């Protein structure tokens, strides 16, 4: 995971998972990317066993640190935030070695590599607004001209970072396209703007392909088009609509097929916009609003996979 000392425990889903695991008597091993390594044919780590407490300060205590084989662990939860760079890919290679040695890795390392959080929605065109994936500025301009109002986003970001809303007559369009595509060197995604963003960008959590019955609708701040909480949006819980469930029925089986036990899909209006599988959030907010135990449901699922 990311540095545990820097998380916001009131909102951090990894912390919710740690709490659920500790409550069941599991031993917790805390590792960061740089702690993983390969020695010969063995996937290894410098691991710190920890205890945690759900309180505003001093929420974790390191007991001791040791070198371990990753295959000595029953399950590894991969909860590192993007960017999805070469270090992230290398981490999936090491985790895949542990998986091949018998450790359950959540989510499956190969799927973390293959199911890019932006690109994966192209498997479900029936659920999506018109979109284009390209780095060609002429092609992107043509798409913007046809769709009129468009969102541009990089394929490897998170939290609403580097997302632009553009129209063809935008005075800054040329520099936006140059910047986001790095002058044609980086592929991006363009999606037709969905006006229903004013009603919220719904984060729907799925455990082994089954949706939690409530979503967190992230409402953009005034003057914003991004609902991401990291971009200043506010979250409010809502019950899933029938169309939300239909989208989950489309996506859920492929998540199960790929060994993605925990995912967060984003839905604006009636459209699927992203499928988050690296480190989806919103557990704590939904648990608090509805008295749920989503991390506990995930632990139930993990236990079933281990038995």
CA–CA separation, 210 vs 196, rounded Å? 25
Give pLDDT tens digits for 61-88: 999 999 999 999 999 999 999 888 899 9
Q: Are 43 and 94 in contact (CB under 8 A)?
A: yes
Tell the CATH superfamily of the 195-306 domain: ATP-grasp fold, B domain (3.30.470.20)
Q: Look at residue 48 and tell me whether its pLDDT is greater than 60.
A: yes
Which tens digits make up the pLDDT trace of 183-230?
999 999 999 999 999 999 999 999 999 999 999 999 887 767 665 566
pLDDT of residue 228: 59
Catalytic residues: 118, 153, 203, 218, 226, 266, 274, 276
How many Å apart are CA 242 and CA 80, to the nearest integer? Answer: 32
Q: Which CATH architecture has domain 4-107?
A: 3-Layer(aba) Sandwich (3.40)
DSSP three-state, residue 211: strand
**Considering the entire predicted model, what is its pTM?**
0.92
- Sign of the Cα torsion 249, 252, 253, 254 reads positive
Dihedral sign (CA 220, 226, 230, 236): positive
130-192: CATH topology is Dna Ligase; domain 1 (3.30.1490)
Q: Hey, where are the domains in the chain?
A: 4-107, 130-192, 195-306
Q: Which residue has the tokens 């990317």?
A: 33
Which of 299, 202, 305, 303 is closest to 256 using CA atoms?
A: 305
Taking residues 257-277, what's their average pLDDT? 97
């Amino acid at each position: 995971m990311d540095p545990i000392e820097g998380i916001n425990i009131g909102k951090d889903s990894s912390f919710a998972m740690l709490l659920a695991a500790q409550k069941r008597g599991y031993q917790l091993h805390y590792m960061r990317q740089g702690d993983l390594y390969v020695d010969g044919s063995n996937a290894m780590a410098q691991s710190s066993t920890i205890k945690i407490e759900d309180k505003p300060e001093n929420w974790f205590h390191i007991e001791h640190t040791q070198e371990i084989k990753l295959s000595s662990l029953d399950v590894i939860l991969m909860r590192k935030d993007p960017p999805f760079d070469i270090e992230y890919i290398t981490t999936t290679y090491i985790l895949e070695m542990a998986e091949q040695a018998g450790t359950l890795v959540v989510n499956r390392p190969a799927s973390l590599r293959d199911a890019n959080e932006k690109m994966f929605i192209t498997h479900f065109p029936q659920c999506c607004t018109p979109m284009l994936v390209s780095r060609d500025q002429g092609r992107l301009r043509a798409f913007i001209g046809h769709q009129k109002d468009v969102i541009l986003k990089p394929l490897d970001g998170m939290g609403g970072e580097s997302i632009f809303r553009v129209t063809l007559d935008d005075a800054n369009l040329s520099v936006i396209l140059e910047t986001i595509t790095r002058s044609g060197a980086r592929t991006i995604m363009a999606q037709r703007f969905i006006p229903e963003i004013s009603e919220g960008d719904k984060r729907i959590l799925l455990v082994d392909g089954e949706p939690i019955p409530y979503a967190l609708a992230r409402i953009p701040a005034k003057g914003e088009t991004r609902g991401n909480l990291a971009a200043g949006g506010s979250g409010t819980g809502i019950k899933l609509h029938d169309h939300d469930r239909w989208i989950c029925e489309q996506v859920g089986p492929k998540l199960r097929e790929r060994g993605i036990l925990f995912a967060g899909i984003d839905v604006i209006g009636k459209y699927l916009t992203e499928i988050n599988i690296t480190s989806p959030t919103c557990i704590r907010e939904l648990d608090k609003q509805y008295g749920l135990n989503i991390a506990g449901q995930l632990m139930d699922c993990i236990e079933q996979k281990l038995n």
